[in-house]
Amino acid sequence: GYHDVAITLLLVCGDKASFPLLCRLSYGPGAPLAPFMQTTMQPTQHLLNYMLPVISRADRKLAECLDKAQVGTMFALPWYLTWFGHSLNKYADVVRLYDYFLCAPPLFPVYVTAAIVLYRADEVFNCECDMAMLHCLLSRLPDDLPFEDILVTAKRLYEDNDPTDLEAEVAALERREEEQRRLDEERLKRRQLANRRNTSGLAARLRRCVPAALRAVPWSRRAALATATVLLGIYVYYRPDLLFNR
């Protein structure tokens, strides 16, 4: 998505001004795009997690609905990574947001994300409380979003919920997510262990069912016998007349 940011700056600012501006946005202290330049997505995911406490403080019922569906924040990842440049169809909306973000605090796009989800609360409530359904709904931005109103809402959200005041809630959220991942991994390991045990039990039952005389046959001969049996079955299936019409 980095190219979405670069091409927007290039189209608006021209080739001479866009490259220095892109560098300033990408590197150095306080650079808003710097978290996206890291080797993993963890710094980006951490910042995007601020969206959920902001929503929770503004609309508890909506936050509970999102939490129940376990929709998370992945639906908003392209918005944040590209400053909505990848997700909006109207070029005028994209450049308006870029104009605002260039003058706003680095984390302000996350508050715009929260404002959009709050604006679409009725759509969320009318949707089935299912992770896949809500992810599909929220990830598709309507073309008629009133971004001037959304920016006003985002500004109010930022003033009422300073990022430093949200750190404890974000940390608690990430601890819950980590605990859930641990439980899911343990559940997967138990399932894999049970499958291996079932496979071993099946093999033991097969060994008991195989006649002793057949078990005494060397493996190479057993393989040849099995292959011949399969080939004979296939031949009889396709040419039964040779066997039954004599």
pTM of the full predicted structure?
A: 0.76
Question: What type of residue is 82?
Answer: T
Q: Is residue 120 in some structural domain?
A: yes
Query: In terms of residue numbers, what domain contains 146?
Result: 2-161
Domain limit, last residue, from 144, 161, 178: 161
CB 48 within 8 A of CB 71: no
Q: What is the pLDDT along the chain (246 residues), one digit of tens a residue?
A: 788 999 999 999 998 999 999 999 999 888 999 999 999 999 999 999 999 999 999 999 999 999 999 999 999 999 999 999 999 999 999 999 999 999 999 999 999 999 999 999 999 999 999 999 999 999 999 999 999 999 999 999 999 999 999 999 999 998 988 888 888 888 888 888 887 777 766 556 656 665 555 555 555 666 666 777 777 766 666 666 655 555
Do residues 67 and 145 share a domain?
A: yes
Q: Is residue 155 in some structural domain?
A: yes
Per-residue HEC secondary structure of 19-51 comes to HHHHHHHHCCCCCCCHHHHCCCCHHHHHHHCCH
Do residues 101 and 223 share a domain?
A: no
Give the count of domains, the chain.
2
